[in-house]
């Protein structure tokens, strides 16, 4: 909190702008709207006008909520660092608040968005480190404070996804970067995302880590059923990187459970099975393993950010890094 006040006082007019923007609610957006804008009416002027208002609104709302966290968590170095990143980002965005909407300004805006995205690349790991710092500091966290932290992190992580989505769509549609996206992509959205292919990619990445740590890994078996058209594969409109990340984390947890449940000395390991089905309205992905399951006594803790069964992550500067364990596992129960 002291760092926040210090930074706010050093940045002229920023507290008043933060109060102003935090009074507004973020505009709801859907993938359908992103697609329609990107395919039919992609207009950089309109995107600039929208984002220079929308991004400060989302960031100011997030920062206001962050300041409501328990004081003991706000004092953690990693949380202070995250807070300083958002303050700097807000200051960067407000430089365009009253700028003329011309080509040079829009070019600088796109470059600024790229800088902002890179600045916040490690926000999830850093905020997780802040929670670990509080937990390792032997701070007593009462149930009310734990609920506040849980509520904040739910909203914080969802807000971060939406902000990055807005930034990525603008920089990919109107900027010079492609980040490996094919020509059919609309920004980061693939109108014909191959679900099985992304599933296989996520498994391969998780398996590499598992092989590095346990010197073995369970095989993958994928089943598919397309109820809409049995002659076609399973595709959908989605952000491939989001699907990849979700499945990658699930596969990591699944592999760790299988390896530790059966023991690394086992001659073979049961396969991880994935069922991908497509109906008229949705796509369902079911991941099954034989990793021993989850005890009923801890089911209420499964989605609690303060609870994890993973070993503590390594301290900075250490050389032993279990590949299947990361700070983000704190958020992947």
- Give the separation between CA 73 and CA 67, rounded to whole angstroms: 10
From the list 125, 249, 260, 290, the catalytic residue is: 249
Annotation marks residue 249 as catalytic: yes
Token reading at 311: 């070993």
245 catalytic? Reply is: yes
**Which of the following is catalytic: 170, 185, 252, 278?**
252
| Cα 5 to Cα 9: distance, rounded to the nearest angstrom | 6
Cα distance between residue 233 and residue 278, in whole Å: 9
252 in active site = yes
Q: 311 and 296 in contact (C-beta within 8 Å)?
A: no
Phi and psi at residue 70, in whole multiples of 5°?
-55, 140
Q: Which residue in this structure is represented by tokens 């991880």?
A: 272
Sign of the torsion angle spanned by Cα atoms 124, 130, 133, 134: negative
Residue in the block written with tokens 């006040």: 5
Catalytic residue among 245, 261, 271, 273: 245
> In the numeric block, which tokens belong to residue 56?
């400060």
Smallest Cα–Cα separation from 92: which of 70, 119, 69?
119
Question: Long-range pairs for 171-178 at CB < 8 Å and ≥24 separation?
Answer: 171/110, 171/113, 171/114, 171/117, 173/38, 173/42, 173/47, 174/42, 174/44, 174/47, 174/106, 174/110, 175/110, 175/113, 175/114, 177/114
Catalytic site residue from 61, 83, 168, 253: 253
Q: Retrieve residue 232's tokens.
A: 């076609």
292: left (phi over 0), alpha (psi -120 to 50) or beta: left
Catalytic residues: 245, 249, 252-253
């Amino acid at each position: 909190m002291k760092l926040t006040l210090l930074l706010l006082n050093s940045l002229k007019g920023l507290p008043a702008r933060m109060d102003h923007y935090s009074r507004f609610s973020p505009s709801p957006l859907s993938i359908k709207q992103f697609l329609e804008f990107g395919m039919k009416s992609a207009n950089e002027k309109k995107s600039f006008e929208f984002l220079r208002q929308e991004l400060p609104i989302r960031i100011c709302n997030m920062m206001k909520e962050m300041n409501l966290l328990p004081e003991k968590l706000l004092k953690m170095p990693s949380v202070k660092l995250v807070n300083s990143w958002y303050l700097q980002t807000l200051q960067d965005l407000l430089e365009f608040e009253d700028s003329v909407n011309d080509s040079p300004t829009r070019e600088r805006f796109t470059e600024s968005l790229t800088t902002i995205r890179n600045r916040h690349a490690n926000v999830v790991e850093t905020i997780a480190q802040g929670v670990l710092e509080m937990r390792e500091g032997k701070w007593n966290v009462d149930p009310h404070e734990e609920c506040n932290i849980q509520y904040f992190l739910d909203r914080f992580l969802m807000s971060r996804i939406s902000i990055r989505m807005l930034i990525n769509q603008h920089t990919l549609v109107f900027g010079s970067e492609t980040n490996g996206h094919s020509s059919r992509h609309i920004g980061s959205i693939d109108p014909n995302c191959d679900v099985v292919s992304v599933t296989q990619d996520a498994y391969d990445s998780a398996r590499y880590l598992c092989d590095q740590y346990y010197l073995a890994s369970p095989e993958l078996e994928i089943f598919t059923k397309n109820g809409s058209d049995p002659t076609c594969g399973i595709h959908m409109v989605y952000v491939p990187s989001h699907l990849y990340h979700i499945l990658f984390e699930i596969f990591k947890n699944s592999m760790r459970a299988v390896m530790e449940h059966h023991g690394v000395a086992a001659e073979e390991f049961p396969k991880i099975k994935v069922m991908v089905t497509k109906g008229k309205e949705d796509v369902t992905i079911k991941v099954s393993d034989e990793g021993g399951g989850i005890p009923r006594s801890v089911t209420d803790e499964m989605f609690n950010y303060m609870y994890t069964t993973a070993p503590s992550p390594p301290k900075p500067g250490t050389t032993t890094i279990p590949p299947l364990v990361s700070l983000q596992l704190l958020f992947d129960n």
